[in-house]
Structure 1
Amino acid sequence: MTGATTSPGRLIVGRETRPKLPPYLKLRHDAGRGRWVLLAPERVLTPDQTAVAVLQLCDGTRTVEEISAKLAEEYSAPVDVITADVLDLLQGLADKGYVKA
Structure 2
Amino acid sequence: MRAAAVADWRPVLAPAVVLRHDRARDTDLLLLPERVVVLHGGAGPIVGLCDGTRSVRDIVDDLAERFPGSSVATDVPAFLERLRTEGWLR
Query: TM-score higher than 0.5 here?
Result: yes
Residue matched to 1:48: 40
Residue matched to 1:96: 86
Offset, 1:56: 0.8
Asked whether 1:27 is paired with 2:14, we answer no
Q: TM-score, normalised by structure 1?
A: 0.79
Work out the number of aligned pairs and report it.
87
Q: Please state which structure has a larger fraction of its residues in helix.
A: 2
Cα RMSD between the aligned structures?
A: 1.4
Is the Cα–Cα contact under 8 Å of residues 15 and 63 in structure 1 kept in the other structure?
A: yes
Residue matched to 2:74: 84
- Which of 48, 53, 60 aligns to 1:61? It is 53
Instruction: State the secondary structure of the residue aligned to 1:60.
Output: coil
Residue matched to 1:71: 63
Offset, 1:61: 0.4
Unaligned runs of 5+ in 2: none
Unaligned runs of 5+ in 1: 5-12
Is the Cα–Cα contact under 8 Å of residues 64 and 83 in structure 1 kept in the other structure?
A: no
